[in-house]
Amino acid sequence: MALWHLGDNFASDIVVIAGVDREQKLLLIRRKHAPFKDCWALPGGFVNSLTPPNTIFEAAETHVQAAVRELQEETGIVVQEVDLKFINVYDAFGRDPRAEGNQRVVTEAFLYNTLSLPQIQAGDDAADAQWFNLDEVVVGKVALAFDHIDMVRCAQHFLAVI
């Protein structure tokens, strides 16, 4: 199963953390499609492209625009670009099993932090959306798709230092 574009394909993932201290919750979606069908993951997805399949990627939106769009499509949460904080880039070859040959998925991860738990409703590529105890996810009680646990831990560290 190859990716859409030759070479690098670009995506955005969003770590949504609500609440404070030991009461912090993490928003996860259950994936509707392969890879990792039925597994828990962060909301996110591919940056829209201007180019057809089997060509080099040309962006039609920025990573943060894709993050805002994907969060709304998959969970119903509406945020503004300024509400998201960049946390890291994930670009290791092999982080997405769909990649073949010289393909890879380069993801920019963002954090959306809020005190209240927004209403959520699964949509688009999400079969379900639920709030989980952040501490339980971080210690591995909930398995996550891809390298999303790394993004969650990075976001948790980011929150601890601000």
> Which residue range is the domain that position 122 belongs to?
8-161
CATH of residue 55: 3.90.79.10
Predicted TM-score (pTM) of this structure: 0.93
Residue 34 in domain:
yes
Residue 146 in domain:
yes
pLDDT digits (tens, 9 = 90+) for 87-136: 999 999 999 988 888 889 999 999 999 999 999 998 888 899 999 999 99
Residue 3 in domain:
no
Residue 1 in domain:
no
Q: What is the pLDDT of residue 162?
A: 66
Q: How many distinct structural domains can be found in the chain? A: 1
Residue 98 in domain:
yes
Residue 67 in domain:
yes
Q: Which residues pair with 39 in a beta bridge?
A: none
Neighbours of 161 (CB within 10 A): 5
Residue 80 in domain:
yes
Which among 1, 30, 9 is positioned nearest to 93, based on CA atoms? 9
What mean pLDDT, rounded, does the chain reach? 92
12 exposure class (CB count in 10 Å sphere: 0-12, 13-18, 19+): buried
